[in-house]
Structure 1
Amino acid sequence: MAQQAYMTETDNGGSGPEPRGNRLRRLFDRLLGGWRSDPRIWRRGLFVAACAVLLAVIMLLHSRIPNTIGNLGSLTETFLPWLGLLVPVLLVLALVRKSAIALIAVVVPSVVWLNLFGGQLTDKTADGGDLTVATHNVNADNPDPAGTARDVAASGADVLALEELTAEAVPTYEKALASTYRYHSVQGTVGVWSKYPLSDVRDVDLDMGWTRAMRATVTAPAGQVAVYVAHLPSVRVKMEAGFTARQRDRSADFLGEAIAQEPLKNVVLLGDLNGTMNDRALNAVTSQMRSTQGAAGNGFGFSWPASFPMARIDQIMVKGLKPESSWTLPRTGSDHLPIAARVKVATSGS
């Protein structure tokens, strides 16, 4: 009876402490009270609402943005996930403006972003796999190539690809990796190190005038795997020309053609492609292979720049192989992060 009397007194405005549920309800009512009593909530914030709809259209139809002016489409697709940061900004503006129509409009880009990238927010890694691969653009100006070699070898990769090798640094990498990898081959500025035998090693023409891609057969215990290592030309953002990527785009077409003609069933591509999986300019490659990060990673796996990764331009892509896990490795002396993946080799009967 005493408990009942106390509650009655409080509900009627007594001096006792107000229950937490009542306090939250009163606060919520105060916040929305001004909205409900203001007829302008449906007339304010039209600009914010328009920006929200425009953002949704850009994300939804990014492939329709033309590349004729400064490769604007490819530039947008390179940093497409980051457009999601504009959603909370628009939400705050809608709340500040007390605009109901803006709040509703902000839902649209939120749904579009989640549809495009929501899968990246879940952990898709799994146990299993019988081949670990890794790739790293070691940076031609790397001040500590020996330390970088030791760091990437510590990943436990069975097959390791390195890009941007200089003639002066190659002996250092060879010496540092010799105890871990019995087999290796360097073609131009790219190389592959393997714990398993290599055969049918050759360079791959990217129409650049010098070698920045190679192919080798790795005879792993689970079966043969065709390993491609590539470093596509760099892209630049220039005020007068926009996103300059013509040479990279042409080299991607040559690489895609080489992979399409590969006779082996199991294929892995390791390298710095200077482009993301969203970039339509890499379609010759991405249309026939899948990213290990997208299939078996946790998060976006951004790899560049190493100081504050904003894009995954270093890629591990597979055809015939089943990705089981994918991850980034700790920073080395390079401006890129190394990345690694564990895959299951498909047998001829699978």
Structure 2
Amino acid sequence: MSTTNPPGPPDTTTDTDTGTEPPAPGHSGVWGGRTWRPSTWRPRTWGGHAWGPGTWRRGRLIAAGAVLCALLMALHSLVPNTIGNLGSLLQTVLPWTGLSVLLLLALAIVRRSKLAAVSVLAPAVVWCSLFAGTLVDKGSGGGDLTVVSHNVDEENADPGRTARALAASGADVLALEELPRKATARSTYEQELASGYPYSAVRGSVGVWSKYPLRAVEPLEIMPWTRALRATVDTPKGPVALYVAHLASVRVLPTAGFATETRNESAAKLAAAVRAESLARVLVVGDFNGSADDSALQTLTGQLRSAQTEAGGGFGFTWPARFPVVRLDQIMVKAIVPVSSWTLPDTGSDHLPVGASLRI
């Protein structure tokens, strides 16, 4: 007796077993002898970290560093000098704090942190508020007096080249600091500048060469040896009190930090002389061995206006000459209007010369 099995469910695997149609996306099925189910796999970004909600919880240390950098920039004048003169050191290199923005942004990208990336906006905004205007060229025409100041470097191997470059600048007044002690080297400046500048005076290691008459020239004792002078320049627009100064050098020492005490003392003595000046128009130039932003020099710079700040374009870094990173050389005025300010090309010294056009 034969029996027949009841009919079973229709065979639905025949076509998929032959590999004709895979399951539709998001559906299960059998294909190629294997059972396929909907996948939970999701694409990931490079590095395996998606920019998802978790990125707001990562990078907290980077975010904290960004806030700290913003506070240091904004409150730089409040950083004390009690430990290693850190306040003066920060203010001297203040423009370079902008590099911290780039570093923090790079770390935020590597960490894939939205929190850190947004926090970097804080130091970026503060830096721009401090220096965005500095990058704009504010120079104009209409000056009555052009002055150039230059630390010529006592160890300069080619003083003739330096002197000729200064003479070619066309300045009405040249102020030189760190003139060499050797008579032969010093006479090189005198010989090269004599034809274009009939009036000159040298006191100690500083000197002035002028197209206009000089009088009342006297040394200023801001240090045990003469590194500053005061003179009256009789310009066609009237007399101007000129101060040429080379403040004491500074050093960064492992034990003392940013050693500026002697410089600060010499700046205070120069400030006292400027404060006692009887002429209304005052021009102070030279190597300050510090930034105009350094609050330790406020006794001097607080009386004056910086030609670079008011009429320059860019930071005007002057030292070291081959790759300038700070502006140590200043042209500052009182009751005189700066109309343009600039740095001159390398002359062979370790400093770049600075120039300014002034309206008397």
TM-score (norm 2): 0.85
Q: Say whether 1:98 aligns with 2:112.
A: yes
> Which entry has the higher C-alpha Rg, 1 or 2?
2
Bigger shift: residues 239-248 or 164-173: 164-173
* Rounded Cα–Cα distance in structure 2 between residues aligned with 1:129 and 1:90: 43
Q: Aligned to 1:255, which of 254, 270, 286? A: 270
What is the CA-CA distance between 1:39 and the residue it aligns to?
A: 2.0
Unaligned regions of 5+ residues in structure 2, if any?
1-43
SS at match of 2:229: strand
Tell me if structure 1 keeps the 8 A contact 2:341–2:355. yes
The residue aligned with 2:259 is 244
* Rounded Cα–Cα distance in structure 2 between residues aligned with 1:92 and 1:330: 34
What is the CA-CA distance between 1:166 and the residue it aligns to?
A: 2.0
Q: Say whether 1:292 aligns with 2:298.
A: no
Distance 1:98 1:173, change over 3 A: same
AA at the equivalent of 2:197: Y
Q: Say whether 1:201 aligns with 2:235.
A: no
SS at match of 1:277: coil
Tell me if structure 1 keeps the 8 A contact 2:200–2:210. yes
Equivalences for 1:132-151 in 2 at 5 Å? 132-151=146-165
Q: Aligned to 1:222, which of 216, 221, 237? A: 237
Equivalences for 1:20-59 in 2 at 5 Å? 38-59=52-73
Equivalences for 1:142-221 in 2 at 5 Å? 142-168=156-182, 169-206=185-222, 208-221=223-236
The residue aligned with 1:315 is 330
* Rounded Cα–Cα distance in structure 2 between residues aligned with 1:35 and 1:237: 43
What is the CA-CA distance between 1:35 and the residue it aligns to?
A: 8.2
AA at the equivalent of 2:257: G
- Flag as ranges the 4+ runs of structure 1 deviating above 4 A: 34-37
* Rounded Cα–Cα distance in structure 2 between residues aligned with 1:106 and 1:167: 51
* Rounded Cα–Cα distance in structure 2 between residues aligned with 1:38 and 1:201: 72
* Rounded Cα–Cα distance in structure 2 between residues aligned with 1:295 and 1:182: 31
The residue aligned with 1:270 is 285
Which of the pair has the greater relative contact order for Cα pairs under 8 Å at 6+ separation?
Answer: 1
AA at the equivalent of 1:55: C
**Bigger share in helix:** 1
* Rounded Cα–Cα distance in structure 2 between residues aligned with 1:239 and 1:218: 44
SS at match of 2:123: helix
Q: Say whether 1:79 aligns with 2:121.
A: no
SS at match of 1:271: strand
What is the CA-CA distance between 1:95 and the residue it aligns to?
A: 1.8
SS at match of 1:299: coil
The residue aligned with 1:325 is 340
* Rounded Cα–Cα distance in structure 2 between residues aligned with 1:119 and 1:256: 28
Q: Aligned to 2:123, which of 109, 126, 129? A: 109
What is the CA-CA distance between 1:31 and the residue it aligns to?
A: 7.5
